[in-house]
Amino acid sequence: MARVYANAVEMLGDEGKAIEWLGTPNRALGGESPLDQLDTDTGARMVEDILGRIAYGIYS
């Protein structure tokens, strides 16, 4: 969870934006928030994948 949070802060450039993004429902996650996905390894990897897409400007 800490790794995903740190990654979100780095990709979004701001702690406040990262916290908001982690708590907001996301279409790429079936309408669930990234935070809801962090209780499993698979979910955490999905969130990290989305953050990687954001870093490279790929729509997700």
- Count structural domains, the chain: 1
Q: Is residue 50 part of a domain?
A: yes
Q: What is the pTM of this model?
A: 0.87
Inside any domain, residue 60: no
Return the pLDDT at 35.
Answer: 96
- pLDDT surpasses 80 at 54: yes
Q: Would you report the helix, strand and coil content of the chain in percent, each value rounded to 5?
A: 70, 0, 30
Domain encompassing residue 18 = 2-55
Q: What are phi and psi of 31, to 5 degrees?
A: 90, 0
What is the model's pLDDT at position 56? 87
